[in-house]
Structure 1
Amino acid sequence: MLNPRLAFHALLIIGLGGALLSSSILAGATLLLAIAGMVLSARKSLYKDGWDKPKELRLLHFSFWFFVLVSFLSWALEGFDYEGGKTLGTHARFILFWPLIVAISYARIGARTTFAAIGLVAVSVIGIFLVTIAARQGALGQVLNSRFGGGINPISFGNLALLGGMLTIVAAMFFVRETRGGLVVLFFIGGTAAVLISMLSETRSNLVALPFLLIALVPLVGKRLRIAGLIVVPMLVAGAIITSDRMSSSLNGLLHDGQLDSGMEIRLEVWGQALNMLRESPWSGAGLGGYTHRIESEVAAGNLPEHFLDCCTGHAHNDLLNNAATSGIPGILSWALLIFIPLAIFGRNLSSRHAATAHLAAAGCMVSLGYFFFGLTEATFNRTLFLTFYLLAVSSIASAMFTELSASYVRNRARKVSATIITKNEEDHITDCLKSARLVADEIIVLDSGSTDRTVELARELADVVEVTDWPGFGIQKQRALEKATGEWVLSLDADERVTPELAREINDHLADPDADAYKLPWAVTIYGSRLDFGRSGRAPLRLFRREGVSFSDALVHERILIPSGRKIKTLRGRLTHYTHRDFGHSLEKSAKYAWLGSLEKHRKGKKTRTMIYPTLRGLMTFVQVYFIRFGFLDGAVGYLTAVTYAQVTFNKYAGLWTLDRPARFEKS
C-alpha cells in the first residue's frame, strides 16, 4: 500500500513541476493536497504527532483568508454581481492555504523535496522550449524573433519561467551545501536556461524583477562573493535590457521621442481609471465586477477606444491598483498583507545558520518579491495560474522551512546553565516548572518568599538550591537568585512558566556554540484552554543570558534584566509556555495586584497623572495595540478577553497613580 506521506511528496512535485505544462495539473495537485489536509485536520493527525503549530504559519494563514474575506465583502456590497462572482471564484482558492499547510507538514516535506519540485519547473520550461522548436521543424530563429509564450499568455509564461529558473538556482546553491556535485550542475544549468528562455517572452516586468531576485541570492553566498555581486548584478540586468528588443524600443522611444509605446499608454489609462474608482469609493471600491463595468461603460460612452474591451476589462493590469479600484482601502491592505507578511517571515530566516532553512527562506523571499514586481504591470491574483502557483509555492516553502527548523536543533549544549526561580505559594506550578527547567539547566536555584503551602517541600525534591527569604520586590529578589548562580549562563524563569521540549532543544543547540550574549524567549500564554500567539502574549521577554556583568533592576514589578552595552541579543523561536492564571477570579486578583504595584513604582519615580482623561486614553490605546496592531483578534474570544484585561490593567495603573497624588494636593490646600 502506498505510504500517504510519499503520495503527498509526489503531489507537490507534480503540482509545482507541472504548473507551466498545464494549469490543470497545478490545480488538481493543489486540490488533492488540500482535501488530504482537511481529512488530517478532522482527525487531528498532525497534533497527535506532537506538532507545535508555528505562529508564523497562523499569520500567513490570516493574510490569505483576509484577502478572500475582503473580496467576498466587496462582492456582497456590489450586490453579488456575476462578473464579481467569477473573480471571487479565483480568489477563493486562497482558503485552501491551511489544509495545504497541514498536509505538507504532516508529510514532513523538507528542503530536498521542495527544491526537487522547483527544479522541475525549470525542466518544464526547457521542455516546452525544445518541443516548440521541434514543432516548427527546428526554426530556432523564428522562435527567437517572436514573443515566446510556451502555448500560454507570454506574460504568465515569462514571469513564472523567470521565477522558476531563479528558484532552481537557489536549489543548486542548496545542493552545494549538501555536497551533491551532480545535482548542483544540473540545477544550475537548468535554472540558468529557464531564466534565459523566460527573457524570450519579452515581458518587461521580468527585467524589473530580475535585479531584486538576484539580490535575494546575496545572503546565501560568502562576503567576498557579495561584493562581486554588486558588480555582476547590474551587468546582468544591463545585458538583459540590451538584448530585449521590446524593452530597448520602449526606452528609445521614451528617450528620443518622449513617448511611451502603446502597451504602456494603455496601462496608464486603465491605471487612471482605477485611481478614479478609488477616489469615488475609497472604503468599498467599485466592487469585484465594478472595474469591468466601468471600462465597458467608458467604451460605450466613447471615452475609451473599443480595443479596451479586448485587453482591459478583466482587471487593471496592476495588483495594487486593481485591488484599490475593486475593494478600496481594505483591498489595498489585503494585497499588502498577502505580499509583505510572507516576505517578512521568510526574510527573518535568511540569516539562519542552518543551510536548509536559509535557502528555503531565500526561495520564499523570491516568490514574494517576484509577485510584487510582476504585479506592477499585471493583476497576478486575478489569474488562476498565477494565484494557484503563489498559493502552493508559499505554503510548501513555508511549511518546509519550519519543518527544517524544527529538525535542525540537534547539538548538545557546551555551557553550564543555572536556572533561577522565585516563588511564593506556587505548589500547583513548581514541579512542572522545575522538570521543564531541568531540560536545559545543570543547576536550579529557588528563592521562596515565605510560602504557606507545599512549594518549598516540592522544590527541594527537584532543585539544587532552595532558600526561604523575605519579599523585597521582584527586581531585588531575582537579583538575589542571580547572585547564587554558578553557571556561565543563567535562565531566569517564573514558576508559572514551562520550557517546551522544542524550546529546550533549540536552547541546547544554540549553547553548543552561542551566537549571542543573551536570548529572548517568546511567550506562549495559555489560559482557558487556549494558547495565545498574538497580542502582548506574543512578546518575547529576555530570559537567557551570559551571567557575567548582568544584573536585575530594583523595580517592585516589571523588573528588567540589565545587559552591558555592546552585547548581542537574539530572539529564539521556541515557546516559553506561560500559565498566567488559574481562572478568571485569579486573573482579576493578579491584574489588580500588578496594576497597584505599577502605580507605586511610577509614584516612586516621581511620575504623575493630573487628570482621569490620561488613564482612559492609555487604556483605549492598550486595547487597540493588543487587539488590532498586535493581531490579538487572531486568538479568538480569549484574545478579546485578554485585550480587555490588559486595557483594564493599564487604566487601573494610571488611575492608581492619580489617586496617590491626591493626598499631597489636599494637604497643600
Structure 2
Amino acid sequence: MTNHFKKPVYLLFVAGIAGALLSSSILAAAALLLAITGLIISFRKSLYQAGWDKPKELRLLHFAFWFFVLVSFYSWAIEGFSYEGGKTFGNHARFILFWPLIIALSYAHLNASTLFAGAGLLAASTFGLLGSALLANQGSIDLLLNSRFGGGINPISFGNIALLGGFLTLVGGLFFYRSKRRALGFLFITIGAAAAAIAMLSQTRSNLVALPFFLLLLVPLLSKNLRIISMIAIPVVVVAAIATNDRMSEQIAGFLQNDTPDSAITIRMEVWGLAWNMFAENPWTGIGLGGYTQEIEASVASGEASAALIECCTGHAHNDFFNIAATSGIPGILSWAFLIFIPLTIFSRHLFSRHTASAHLAVAGSLVSIGYFLFGLTEATFNRTLFLTFYLVSVAGIAAALFNELSTSYVRQRTKTVSATIITKNEEDHIADCLKSARLVADEIIVLDSGSTDRTVEIAKQYADIIEVTDWPGFGVQKQRALEKATGEWVLSLDADERITPELAREINHRLADPDADAYKLPWAVTIYGARLDFGRSGRAPLRLFRREGVRFSDALVHERILIPEGRKTKTLRGRLTHYTHRDFGHSLEKSAKYAWLGSLEKHRKGKKTRTMIYPTLRGLMTFVQVYFIRFGFLDGAVGYLTAVTYAQVTFNKYAGLWTIDRPSIPATHDANAA
C-alpha cells in the first residue's frame, strides 16, 4: 500500500509548499488532502502494521500543536463564543491536522530530496511573481523598486515566506552538493539566493532582523574554510541589505535627525502597550480571542488610543507574544512558547549530525522555528492563514523527513568489540529475551547471578559466554564484578528486564564503526500495563554503553552510577532501550518498597538525615510535579499518571524510611510493662 500512497503524497506536499505564495488556497487544499490521506492510513493502521516505531519527538510536537488549539478554544469559550473570536479559532483549529499529516508523510517515507524540491519550487515561484509584476508595470524596474513588492499578497507575508523559502532552498542546494549532485546543488543555491534577494524587495523589517540568524544557521553546513569566510561575509551581506532597503534607511535617517521613531513604529509601540495592559488586567485568562478587537475599538472611541489603530491594528497586535498574551493570558504564552521552542529544540539536536540528510533537515527545521519567532516580533503570524498553514505543513514535513532519514541512516558495521554484562536473580521470565537482544550488538555476554532459585541460570547458559553464581553485595559492587570480567573494548551494561530493540542495535553498530563519543546514553522505553511510556521519569536515558578502559561502577546499594573518567565525551542515542519494569501492580509495589528502603539505607550510610515528616511529604509532591508535569508524563495517559504517583510514593517512602532509622527503637521490655 505504501507505493499506492507514496507518489500522491509526494505530489500533494510539493504542490502545497511550492504554491504557497501563488495562492494560500493551494497550500490549504494540499494540507487538507494530506490530512485525509493520513486519516485513512490511521483507520487502516497501515503504518503500525508496517512496523513504524513512533518517535516520541513526534508525540511531543503533536502535543505542542494540540495544546495551542486547546488554549485557543478556551480563550474563545471564556468570551462567550463570539463571532470575531470564532474566526480566529477557526484559523487556529487547522493545527489539529498535524498528526494526520505526520501519518501520511511518514507512511510515504518523505525524504530530504522531496522536501527540498518543494522548497526549490517555492523559491522559483518568486521569479514568476516578480515577472508578472514587471509586466504589469510595463517593465519599469524603478517603479517596482520604489514600492513594496508583495507578489499580489500582503508584502509582509510575501517577504517573510519568500525569505524562508529562499533559505530552505539554499539548504537544499548545500544538501544536493554534498550528496554529489553538484549541478543540481548549484542550481538550488542560485535560485535560493535570488529568492532571498526578491524577498528583500518587500522591504519588510522583520526580514532584516531574521537575515543574520538565517545566515548563521547555514554555517554548520559549510566546510571549515568556508566557515571562516562566512564570518566576514555575513556582516557584509547584512549591512548591504540594510543599505539597499530604502524604507529602513529612511527610518534610520529620520530617527537620527528627529530622535523619534517613524509613525509605523510609534503605532506598533502604542498597540503593544495596550495589549500588555489587557494582559496585566487578565493574566490567567486574557480577554478572549475577540476581546482584543473590542478593546482597541473602545479605546479609540474614548480617545485613549490613536484613531490610526482602527486602520491597522484591530485584528491583532502585530506581535505574536503581545497578541497571544492579551487574548489568552499565561496559558496562551505557554502554548506559543511550546509551538516555537519544542520544534526548535527537537530540530537543533541534529544540527551537527554526521548524517548529511539529517543535518540539513535539522537546519531547515531550525530555520522555520527561528524564522517564525523573529517574524512574530512585528507580525501576529499565527493569526494569518498563510503563515499558520505554512508553519503547520513545513514543520510536519521536515519532522517526518528527518525521522524517516534517521531511521534509514544506520548502515555501517561495528568495528569495536563489545562485552554485554547482566546481573540476575530469579529472572527466568526475562533473561532469554534480554540475552537474545544483547547478542545483536555484543561479541561476549557475561551473566553474574546472585543465587536464583528458578531457571535463570539454566536459561542463561544457552546464550551467555560466561556465567557465574555469586553472593549479593549490592547493585554497584555486583555490576563492578561483571565489568572486571569483560574483555571487549566497549561494554554494554544491561538489566535483565531490558531489551535492545532492532533499531537501537543498528544504531549502536553504526556508531561503533567510528565512535564519536566515549560513552552513550540509551533512552528508555518503559513498557508497563500494555503501554509504552515515552515521558515522565520513564523518558530518561541511562548510561549503558561505554569504552571499558578506566571506567568503574560506584559501590551504591541501589541506583549505582557508572563513573566515567573526566574529560571523556558522552552522547545520547536515539534508539529505544525497552524496559519491562515489573510484571503486575503487585510486583510494582514489592519492587518500589524494596528500592525505597535500599535508598533509605544508602542515604543513611552517607550520613544523610531527615528531621521531620514535612520533608518526605514535600519531596514526594515535588517528584509528582516533576514527573507528571515538567517531564510531560501526562502525555502517557492513565498509565503515566499511575507511574507518577508511584514515583512520588517511592520518594516519600525513601525519606520517611530515613526518618525512621534515626528514631530510637522501643525496647521489648517496655512493651511488656506497658501491656
For Structure 1 versus Structure 2, the TM-score category normalised by the shorter chain is over 0.9
Report the CA distance shift for 1:203/1:557 in structure 2 as closer, same or farther (over 3 A). Answer: same
Tell me if structure 1 keeps the 8 A contact 2:148–2:201: yes
| RMSD (Å), alpha carbons | 1.3
Query: What is the DSSP-based 3-state SS (H/G/I as helix, E as strand, rest coil) of the residue aligned with 2:478?
Result: helix
1:37 corresponds in structure 2 to: 38
> Which aligned pairs between 1:424-435 and structure 2 lie closer than 5 A?
424-435=425-436
Residue in 2 aligned with 1:636? 637
How many residues align? The count is 667
Q: How many Å apart are 1:574 and its aligned residue?
A: 0.3
Cα distance in 2, alignment partners of residues 418 and 204 from structure 1: 58
Q: Report the CA distance between 1:663 and its aligned residue.
A: 2.4
Give 1:594's aligned amino acid.
Y
Superposed, which structure 2 residues align to 1:310-325 within 5 Å?
Answer: 310-325=311-326
Distance 1:570 1:387 in 2: 35
Superposed CA deviations along residues 109-157 of structure 1, whole A, max 9, x for unmatched, are 1100000011111011111111221232222221122110000000000
Aligned to 2:332: 331
Partners of 2:518 and 2:378 lie apart in 1 by 47
> Per-residue CA shift, 1:603-652, capped at 9, x if unaligned?
11111111111100100000011011111111111101000000000000
Contact (CA 8 Å) 2:529, 2:639: kept in 1 or not?
yes
Give the equivalent residue in structure 1 for 2:382. Answer: 381
For 2:578, the equivalent position in structure 1 comes to 577
2:131 match: 130
Within-5 A mapping of 1:222-241: 222-241=223-242
Q: Secondary structure at the match of 2:148?
A: coil
Opposite residue 476 of structure 1, the aligned amino acid is V
How far apart are residue 228 of structure 1 and its match?
A: 2.1
How far has the Cα of 1:310 moved from its partner?
2.0
The question of whether the paired residues in 1 share the 8 Å contact of 2:39 and 2:100 is answered with yes
Deviation at 1:664, TM superposition (A): 7.5
What code does the residue aligned with 1:236 have?
V
Residue equivalent to 2:219: 218
> Alignment partner of 1:3: what SS?
helix
Q: Give 1:260's aligned amino acid.
A: P
2:52 corresponds in structure 1 to 51
Measure the CA separation in 2 of the matches of 1:447 and 1:663.
38
Say whether residues 1:248 and 2:270 are aligned partners: no
Q: Report Cα offsets for 1:138-178 as digits up to 9, x if no partner.
A: 22221122110000000000010011001110111101111
How far 1:666 moved relative to its partner? 9.6
1:244-273 per-residue CA deviation (whole Å, 9 max, x = no partner) reads 010011111112211111111111111011
Q: 1:551 aligned to 2:549?
A: no
Does the Cα contact within 8 Å between 2:177 and 2:183 map onto a contact in 1?
no
Partner of 2:288: 287
Whole-Å separation in 2 of the counterparts to 1:665 and 1:479: 39
| Equivalent residue letter for 2:37 | A
Match of 1:142 in 2: 143
Q: Which residue of 2 aligns with 1:168?
A: 169
Instruction: Tell whether the 8 Å contact from 2:177 to 2:186 is kept in structure 1 after alignment.
Output: no
Shift of 1:665: 11
Partner SS state of residue 432, structure 2: helix
Equivalent in the alignment of 1:601: 602
Matching residue of 2:621: 620
Q: Does 1:180 align with 2:184?
A: no
Asked whether the equivalents of residues 160 and 375 of structure 2 are also in contact (C-alpha less than 8 Å), the reply is yes
CA contact (8 A) 2:433 2:499 kept: yes
> Following TM superposition, by how much is the alpha carbon of 1:311 offset from its aligned partner in structure 2, in angstroms?
1.1
Instruction: Tell me, in whole angstroms, the C-alpha distance in 1 between the residues paired with 2:388 and 2:209.
Output: 20
CA deviations on 1:13-41 (whole Å, 9 max, x unpaired) are 00001100110000000000011111111
Counterparts in 2 of 1:68-83, with a 5 A limit? 68-83=69-84
* Equivalent runs, 1:87-166 vs 2, <5 Å: 87-166=88-167
Q: Any idea what SS the aligned residue of 1:548 has?
A: coil
Q: What corresponds to 1:273 in structure 2? A: 274
The residue identity in structure 1 corresponding to 2:241 is: A
What's the secondary structure of 2:461's corresponding residue? Answer: helix
Give a deviation string over 1:165-217, Cα, whole Å, max 9, x none: 01110111101111112211210111011011111101011000100011111
Aligned-residue offset at 1:569: 0.6
Identity %: 74
CA distance in 2, matches of 1:45, 1:377: 43
Structure 2: distance between partners of 1:666 and 1:600: 22
Q: Quick check: 2:111–2:404 contact (8 Å CA) kept in 1?
A: yes
Instruction: Give the residue type in structure 2 aligned to 1:161.
Output: A
1:271-296 alpha-carbon deviations (Å, 9 max, x no partner): 01100100110000010001101111
Alignment of 1:253-264 (within 5 A): 253-264=254-265
How far apart in 2 are the matches of 1:471 and 1:437?
A: 23
- Give a deviation string over 1:457-500, Cα, whole Å, max 9, x none: 11001111111111111011111111111111100000000000
Hey, what does 1:506 align to over in structure 2? 507
2:526 alignment counterpart: 525
Q: Tell me how far apart the structure 2 counterparts of residues 32 and 408 of structure 1 sit (CA, whole Å).
A: 29
Stretches of structure 2 that go unaligned for 5 or more consecutive residues are: 669-675
Counterpart Cα distance in 2 of 1:202 and 1:38: 41
The answer on 1:647 being equivalent to 2:634 is no
Paired position in structure 1 for 2:22? 21
Give the Cα–Cα distance (whole angstroms) in 2 for the partners of residues 295 and 136 of structure 1: 38
